[in-house]
Amino acid sequence: MRILVVSPYPPARDGIAAYALQSVAGLRAAGHDVEVLSPGPSAAHHHLDLRGWRGPLALATRVRDYDRVVVQFHPDVFYPDPSGGRSHVAVSLGLLAAVRVARHVDLVVHELDYEIGRRRGLAGRAMGAMLGAASQVHVHTAPEADALHEAFGVPRSRIETVDHGAHFLRRTTLDRSGARARFGIPDDDLVFLAIGFIQPHKGFDRAIGAFAQVRAPGCRLEVVGSVRVEEPEFIEHLEKLERMAAVTPGVTVRPGFVADDEFDSWLVAADVIVLPYRRIWSSGVLERAALYDRPVIATSVGGLPEQARANTVVVDDDEGLVRAMRRFVAERTTPSAGADGEWTFARVDRDTVMAEIRARAAAERGGPVTRDIGAAPAVASAPLRRLSSLALPPPRSLSPLARLVKRVTRRLTAWQLDPIVEHVNRLQSAAVDAVERVSEPPTS
């Protein structure tokens, strides 16, 4: 079968490009003749600017010669204004024309604003017509399938839920020790990892805030990834992460693009993958973590609860994230028998110890046994730990002019404000350390 895949493609630094590369490899392994058309210069066979209404119409002239067309669909590839501006209807109608003239079209949906369909306006109807005209629309989770049918009216018979990691392949042969040696991480550290493109909706700041409340010896949080688009909002978010890491012992932010083999090496080096997303439908990181049997902590957003494997802990909020991280710390610091048969103990945070004491006391009394690590802590510094690190608010506004003025003001005053923020965060950290030293029981 002759197949055309329409998608961003390597060496583009894009998650969809990496996904498409593996999908193409799978199709070729099945014996198909596959060509790739990308929206920009790449290793693809064909290149075509797809943004705006002219792009889809140009695409329509190229799809007729193929038995099947597979579109790795993301609104940013086609729509100048993905939220539903004036050009939205024209782009959808152009895509509808391309879908109509092709023999068979599979749309693989990576992201979609379902509110456009729910608003029942012209933009929603045009996009619904385009989606409904496809031979098959592929999504990764059942909640996405439900939303696609409910918001855009796509017939259930044309919606197929496919495993996000169906074509994923391992990209490293390193073992845990080898991967840690590559990144200079001690073998005996407990490593939490937040990895991927750095954007506010990924919530890596939530991971740092939760880790600040856990902070056990021998534990570390690695934040790894690059800014996907060089836009002020994303750059400022990276700067915020770096400021938070500077005042949170054990946290390291490693900015920069991560190649496939390096990405997988980080997964192998980690003990726990943290996905503190604020908004997402499905996660390629979750699927790649499964390749290496790495446990995951993920927030309950989009289709992640359904996509989660047996070794995934799904949490609802920041407090749940803290409890989940503490649980992994507690499991790591459980006493174990040494080589000489004697018990050896690692340092355990006091919250975990008190939770275990309460549970055992309840068992002795014959009452219900609960081990709520997030219960009222006995640590004197707990109120200080619950304070999140100070960070300047991002320059947001519904008015583009006001947003621009705020960004300029932020940059002009950074030399005054950033040292104050850093000093306040250092004071908090010093206060925590001082309270804990004072509350340490005397040693005999």
User: Which has the closest alpha carbon to 289: 312, 322, 257, 305?
Assistant: 312
Q: What is the pLDDT of residues 61-117, one digit of tens each?
A: 999 999 999 999 999 899 988 777 778 999 999 999 999 999 999 999 988 888 899
> Directed axis angle between helix 122-133 and helix 87-101, to 10°?
20
The predicted pLDDT at position 220 comes to 94
Q: Is 39 exposed, middle or buried (0-12, 13-18, 19+ CB in 10 A)?
A: buried
Q: Which range is least confidently modeled, 190-199, 270-279, 298-307, 434-443?
A: 434-443
Cα 117 from chain centroid (whole Å): 25
Distance CA 290, CA 191 (A): 17
Would you say residue 23 has pLDDT above 90? no
Would you say residue 335 has pLDDT above 80? no
3-state DSSP assignment of residue 264: helix
DSSP string, 399-420: SHHHHHHHHHHHHHHHHHHHHH
User: Which has the closest alpha carbon to 302: 47, 113, 78?
Assistant: 113
The predicted pLDDT at position 15 comes to 75
User: Which has the closest alpha carbon to 220: 193, 249, 191, 247?
Assistant: 191
Mean pLDDT taken over the chain: 82
328, 295 Cβ separation under 8 angstroms: yes
> Does pTM top 0.75 for this prediction?
no
Q: What is the pLDDT of residues 191-211, one digit of tens each?
A: 999 999 888 999 999 999 999
Q: How confident is the model at residue 343 (pLDDT cuts 50, 70, 90)?
A: very low
Q: How confident is the model at residue 347 (pLDDT cuts 50, 70, 90)?
A: very low
The predicted pLDDT at position 158 comes to 92
The predicted pLDDT at position 290 comes to 86
The predicted pLDDT at position 12 comes to 75
Q: How confident is the model at residue 355 (pLDDT cuts 50, 70, 90)?
A: low
Question: pLDDT higher for 2 or 281?
Answer: 2
H-helix or E-strand spanning residue 222 = strand 219-225
> Directed axis angle between helix 284-291 and helix 260-269, to 10°?
60
Q: What is the pLDDT of residues 366-376, one digit of tens each?
A: 555 444 444 44
HSE, CB side, 13 Å, CA atoms: give it for residue 277.
Answer: 23
Distance CA 304, CA 311 (A): 13
**CB atoms closer than 10 angstroms to residue 229:** 10
Q: How confident is the model at residue 340 (pLDDT cuts 50, 70, 90)?
A: very low
The predicted pLDDT at position 444 comes to 46
Cα 248 from chain centroid (whole Å): 21
The predicted pLDDT at position 35 comes to 95
Would you say residue 307 has pLDDT above 90? no
Would you say residue 426 has pLDDT above 90? no
